[in-house]
């Protein structure tokens, strides 16, 4: 699994010109799922994200986690995070999981996140053409890949 995490002042998803979901201060999480991802990837990644200290404390230092601030969360599936641009100019998405694998893992990720965060999260609509709007706070953008735990 690969995520792009953006600390946002607000974010929203629109589908066909209608707002589908929106959040205030918190995290926008773009989630890419690979064919060989498992529940273990979900567990490790959720624990990492909710404890990641990327929110400012009273001194302006990034010392607070999502759990500390109880911010909002928007999770959007994005298969293009697994694009390979190694050959040619057209990206290959061969590593991205097909819907029969990705949808259950996406749903499990959302459910596991809610369970361990203790709060409902907003989502996109898997497979839909979505428009995202956000105000990135900082900007703070973090990329995490469960296959390359840096």
On whether the CB atoms of residues 72 and 26 are closer than 8 A, the answer is yes
Active site residue 80: yes
- What is the distance between the alpha carbons of residues 131 and 29, in angstroms, rounded to a whole number? 14
Q: Which of 38, 59, 80, 146 is catalytic?
A: 80
Residue count (the chain):
150
Q: How far is CA 141 from CA 6, 11, 22, 86, in A?
A: 5, 14, 19, 24
CA–CA separation, 21 and 14 (whole Å): 7
Contacts of 106 (CB under 8 A, 6+ apart): 31, 33, 77, 126
Q: Catalogue the active-site residues.
A: 80
């Amino acid at each position: 699994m690969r995520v792009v995490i953006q600390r946002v002042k607000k974010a929203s998803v629109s589908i066909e010109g209608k707002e589908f979901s929106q959040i205030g201060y918190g995290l926008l999480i773009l989630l890419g799922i690979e064919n060989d991802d498992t529940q273990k990837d979900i567990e490790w990644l959720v624990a990492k994200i909710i404890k990641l200290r990327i929110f400012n404390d009273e001194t302006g230092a990034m010392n607070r986690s999502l759990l500390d601030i109880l911010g909002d969360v928007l999770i959007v599936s994005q298969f293009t995070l697994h694009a390979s641009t190694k050959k040619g100019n057209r990206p290959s998405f061969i590593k991205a999981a097909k819907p029969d694998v990705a949808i259950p893992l996406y749903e499990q990720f959302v459910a596991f996140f809610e369970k361990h965060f203790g709060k409902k999260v907003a989502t996109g609509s898997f497979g839909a053409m979505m428009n995202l709007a956000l105000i990135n706070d900082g900007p703070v953008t973090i990329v995490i890949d469960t296959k390359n735990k840096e």
